[in-house]
């Protein structure tokens, strides 16, 4: 036998994805709908015709019409709170623009240039004299950033090699030493923990032009470089900071970049 159960009521619940409260109203990013009936029957917003784009489907229109009296009781209060929230957000954005323009990220930060060009760009973008003054005082920093970008941007191999030594390598060795990932973290977070890095600062610190981060090497040369500094061992079973498995992954990816579209390969051990 087949039985059919008709439900006439349920508990309607909005499951908020965000936690931002404005005047007691949750204005976080998005929500999910859950309808809970007796017998632990639960349905989502699909039963109401609610989709990810919040299109006004016939089912959703019917649901809103059935609950129009509840909506009308709150709509003015909610719209008023939203208006005040938008007004506050606009004021905050205007204050931010007066201090530092949104164009600073795309025009200055993302594109290191000679100090003269940076100062000229900032002079046209920024109204806050403090920002202009900082740029003029940091000519050596801007020049170093430009030189670093030129060095690591000369080829895709150079870029990827640089990222290996300042960022990606950290995730490989994190099981040995506890660190956190961000720019220059392989050196900045580890040199005081691993004494051999401190001893060979000029070979690993990206602030030195002699750093390995700027010098892509063939695998035999890199192995010799690391062995001399006590960071790599070719003896099976001997523990070292770096190992064959990591170098295999590293040079496999370098081969993909360097020989993309060709039949050339470099054999890894």
The mean pLDDT value of the chain amounts to: 82
Inter-residue contact 21 to 85 (CB < 8 Å) = no
Inter-residue contact 41 to 53 (CB < 8 Å) = no
Inter-residue contact 34 to 13 (CB < 8 Å) = yes
pLDDT bin (cut points 50, 70, 90) of residue 207 is confident
Quote the CA–CA distance of 96 and 102 in Å, as a whole number: 8
**Of the candidates 89, 123, 121, 90, which has an alpha carbon nearest to the alpha carbon of residue 106?**
121
Q: Which pLDDT does position 193 carry in this prediction?
A: 72
pLDDT bin (cut points 50, 70, 90) of residue 238 is low
Q: What is the pLDDT of residues 80-101, one digit of tens each?
A: 989 999 999 999 999 998 899 9
Q: Which pLDDT does position 24 carry in this prediction?
A: 82
- Asked whether residue 187 carries a pLDDT value surpassing 80, the answer given is no
Q: What is the pLDDT of residues 19-45, one digit of tens each?
A: 788 888 888 778 889 989 887 888 888
Provide the residue ranges of all domains of the chain, joining segments of one domain with +: 11-96, 100-149, 154-258
Q: CA of 237: how far to CAs of 160, 226, 240, 248, in Å?
A: 29, 17, 9, 17
Quote the CA–CA distance of 165 and 163 in Å, as a whole number: 5
Q: What is the pLDDT of residues 148-157, one digit of tens each?
A: 888 888 899 9
Handedness of CA 166, 172, 173, 178 (dihedral sign): positive
Phi/psi of residue 187, nearest 5 degrees:
-80, -55
Inter-residue contact 157 to 216 (CB < 8 Å) = yes
Q: Which pLDDT does position 90 carry in this prediction?
A: 94
- Asked whether residue 181 carries a pLDDT value surpassing 80, the answer given is no
Q: Which residues pair with 31 in a beta bridge?
A: 16
């Amino acid at each position: 036998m087949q039985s059919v159960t008709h439900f006439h009521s349920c508990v309607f619940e909005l499951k908020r994805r965000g936690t931002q409260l404005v005047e007691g109203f949750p204005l976080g990013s998005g929500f999910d709908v859950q309808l809970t009936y007796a017998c632990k029957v639960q349905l989502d917003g699909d039963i109401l015709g609610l989709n990810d784009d919040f299109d006004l489907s016939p089912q959703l229109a019917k649901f809103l019409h059935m609950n129009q009296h509840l909506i009308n009781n709150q709509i003015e209060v909610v719209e008023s709170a939203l208006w005040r929230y938008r007004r506050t957000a606009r004021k905050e954005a205007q204050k931010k623009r007066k201090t530092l323009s949104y164009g600073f990220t795309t025009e200055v930060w993302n594109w290191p240039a000679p100090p003269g060009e940076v100062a000229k760009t900032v002079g046209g973008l920024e109204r806050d004299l403090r920002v202009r003054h900082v740029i003029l005082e940091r000519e050596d920093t801007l020049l170093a950033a430009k030189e670093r970008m030129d060095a690591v941007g000369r080829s895709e191999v150079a870029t990827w090699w640089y990222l290996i030594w300042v960022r990606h390598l950290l995730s490989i060795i994190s099981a040995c030493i506890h660190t956190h990932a961000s720019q220059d973290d392989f050196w900045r977070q580890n040199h005081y923990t691993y004494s051999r890095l401190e001893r060979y600062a000029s070979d690993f610190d990206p602030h030195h032009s002699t750093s390995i981060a700027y010098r892509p090497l063939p695998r035999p040369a890199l192995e010799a470089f690391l062995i001399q500094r006590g960071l790599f061992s070719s003896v099976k079973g001997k523990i070292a900071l770096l190992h064959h498995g990591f170098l295999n992954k590293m040079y496999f990816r370098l081969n993909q970049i360097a020989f993309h579209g060709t039949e050339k390969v470099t054999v890894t051990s």
